[in-house]
Structure 1
Amino acid sequence: MCGLGTMGRHHARVLATLPGVRLVGACDPDPGARPALAGLPVFPDLDTLLELDLDLCVVAAPTLAHAAIGSRLAAAGVHTLIEKPLAAGAEEARALAAAFESAGLVGCVGHIERFNPVVQAMRERIRDGEVGTVLQITTSRQGPYPQRIRDVGVILDLASHDIDLTRWIAGAPYVKVSAVTSKVAGASGHEDLAAVVGVLRDGTVVNHLVNWLSPVKRRQVTVTGELGCLRGDLLDGTLWFHGDPSRAAACGERQSPPGGSPVRCALTRQEPLQAELEAFVAAVRSQAAPAGRTEAVDGVGAVVPMWAGAEVMDVTAAILAEPAASVEVSAAGRPVDDPVRRDLARASLVVPASPGVDHAVALAVADRGGTAVASFDHDTWPPGGLPTLVAGYVPVPGSRRWF
């Protein structure tokens, strides 16, 4: 074990109960963390822990330390599970994935929501065609500020969960993503809330709402398809199907009369962390097994490879980059054939406005000769207020829908 904070102690608790696993020690530089587990040797540094000749290790240290710790473990030949997010940045994440791959080691990331029974059931039912073609996936993840987080904001701490589970249940990567973020609480020094919108390669529209400002804790996922809707609550462990009752019958556990009323789906119950660590241990044992046994790389019960964690980091990096979304502008409600409207036909809206500028919109106006940049203040904008913004999106080849 590396790190004995809240999550690290949960990992240690579960590892100590797994058959065939012997928890031999942990490291944490904080003296206050060392008495956390009675009878377990806890060292102040990784060097001393590595002297115990580890077979596998779980890293639950602060995110900013993941790259350094993970690199050391890969060099030492230790199979490793690193808590999400995999690293502090996309480049570090890819370097970690490459290091474990080149060393022939099991390297995985703790995207625990893949092991949530609700998410697993959603994925299986989508693959079985119960909702038909998936049109939209929405998630809401909010609650009070977690005192354990100091080094990242809600995008890395919260939205990374939803980005991974969305990619996994849909079976398609993101091709476009943008967000509005806000720093409200100031406790972390990072963004405290975010509204994310994106599109997957197959054309599925996704929305993620995350914050750690709400007194109400919420973890919800909704998948809307052509034939119905799956609505999952990851906190109370329930999954509901809304749609054609004949298709809902496959869910079992009918709670309401037929006729379009929601139907509760039966789930297999297991602690997600236990399922995640069992998969990790099984993958390590598979590496040492005779030829012919192979490690599962996808599906329910498989580990989440570091490359998947790196792809999540690519998406979070795009969200956290200074956003500049392509838009079409309807200036003060003027008709399309108005000369002013034509002059403002193509524009790029920069959000947020430049620091220190109140009610400002930076507008790059495309005209025949090139791009001219002008800045408009709310108080001097023409009567009628700010322009109406209509997002434009051209999907990649192979997408099934055009907007």
Structure 2
Amino acid sequence: MPQANTPATPWGTPDLVQLMDETGTVRTHPTFSPYADELTNTDLKEMYRTMALTRRFDDDMTALQRQGQLALWVPSRGQEAAQVASARALAPNDHIFPSYRDHGALLERGIEPSEITPLFRGSATLGWDPKKHNVHPYTLVLAAQVLHATGYAMGLNMDAQIEAETGEKQTGQGQATDPNQDAVKPAVAVYFGDGSSTEGDVHEAMVFAASYNAPVLFFVQNNGWAISVPFETQSRVPLATRAAGYGFEGLRVDGNDVLSVYAATRYAMDKLRAGEGPVMIEAQTYRLGPHTTADDPTKYRPQDHEATYTPLDPLPRLEAYLRSRGVEESFFEEIEAEAKQGGQTVRDYVLNSKPEDFETYLDRVYAEPHQQVEDDRAFYRAYTAGFEEE
């Protein structure tokens, strides 16, 4: 395993940062180890708990989709460390713009598993309160959230400028969701995958982020596949290298290593809050399951891929590290029991959930009554009446 190095300049190719290898062995790094040293045994155990609950939730939702109880499910198996560790490194008043696979980041932010399910069951468009958690809705249109996040980050800068000029506090500036925690200058983190990185929206977002020095972290989870297209076909260079073309720093980290992901994210957020952003982090991980439950990876992935990548699974890696730090077997047994009970709870919730009345969506189009909406309502009622039995 190569020695971790300090990150290259923004104009070079960033080296891969790895603080903990697949056996749970830790090495020091002059830039990132101080951030990783912030993590206590309690922090690490809490991250393991969230990762384990995410894994079990993922398995249960896949099973429910196979039983016809969900329209679709997007697994996150293998990417739990990248999601949970990065979300833990954010402040409560930082805003997260997720894609559609970031279940671990949402659970780390306090969102209940059951609040993620309505979108995939088709019973609602959103199950959690975005303002309560500072987590915006899942985005099903590839890379659209990257533009949204950049625009929001630009707005934070504008709010800060107005506040400096007028002395009037602007909504979202320095407001922590936890009243017991000191507020910090808010920033934005946006999650997307290596497949989304080839979308024009990402290019446009990075141009604007660089031009307006927006405090936005571009967190790309490179899981090796854009559905059926391997990363080698998508890009000839590491994705983090692209940041140099826009004039900001790009980092490459081992996305299955919670220490590296946490440390790199903390480092990046410090830069954003100091006005030195934006920053891009490429978390190199691996998608152990299919792209979605509508996908069959056996059609395009090598037969030996599991033998190659299963040993890199982030959960056993963190478990080995925790055991080396004296965490006892009883802890892992408790987590397994909690995950089992949580799985039953969310399954019951899904099976008992009912779809929302479709006409409520028509009520949300305009703030005031609108004739087009009423025409659409009349069409919908006439259409559904055609299915009624005489």
Q: Which has the higher helix share?
A: 2
Give the TM-score taking structure 2 as reference length: 0.32
What TM-score, normalized to structure 1? 0.32
> Rg larger in 1 or in 2?
1
Structure (1 or 2) with the greater strand fraction: 1
Bigger relative contact order, structure 1 or 2 (CA pairs below 8 A, ≥6 apart)? 2
